[in-house]
Amino acid sequence: QTVVTQEPSLTVSPGGTVTLTCASSTGAVTSGYYPNWFQQKPGQAPRALIYSTSNKHSWTPARFSGSLLGGKAALTLSGVQPEDEAEYYCLLYYGGVWVFGGGTKLTVL
């Protein structure tokens, strides 16, 4: 069974930079896994941030960026704002099946 692993929780100070990662149990994550990143706040619908590794939606703030880093998909937030406190989760494509990561709870403190 394929497992996608994210950091369970991270804490960052306002204005700081933080990188969330998304690892695959099958090996290195490549662009062929079409990594997607989502943000979800309590009581709200998930919101797409990044697709196909590094592409932003029109509504994605410039401080969010996606990349591949050390065999993992990565989401970097630069100049973190208090409103960025949320759960972030990744999604990877395994040739016909999409698999979600467990999510990272980001605290801005």
Partner 1 sequence: QVQLQESGPGLVKPSQTLSLTCTVSGGSLSNGDHYWSWIRQSPGKGREWIGYSRYSGSTYYNPSLKSRVTISVDTSKNQFSLNLSSVTAADTAVYYCARYSGSSRWFDPWGQGTLVTVSS
Binding footprint of partner 1 on the chain (CB under 8 A): 34, 36, 38, 44-48, 51-52, 55, 57, 89, 91, 93, 96-100, 102-103
Question: What does the alpha-carbon distance between residue 26 and residue 4 come to, in Å, rounded to a whole number?
Answer: 9
Instruction: Give min distance, CB of 15 to partner 1, in A.
Output: 28
Instruction: Give min distance, CB of 89 to partner 1, in A.
Output: 6
Instruction: Give min distance, CB of 24 to partner 1, in A.
Output: 15
| Three-state SS sequence of 85-106 | CEEEEEEEECCCCEEEECCEEE
Nearer to partner 1, 11 or 31 (CB): 31
Q: Within 10 A of 58 (CB to CB), how many other CB atoms are there?
A: 4
Distances (CA, A) of 35 to 17, 43, 50, 98: 21, 24, 8, 10
Nearer to partner 1, 82 or 95 (CB): 95
Question: What does the alpha-carbon distance between residue 104 and residue 5 come to, in Å, rounded to a whole number?
Answer: 9
Instruction: Give min distance, CB of 17 to partner 1, in A.
Output: 25
Nearer to partner 1, 18 or 50 (CB): 50
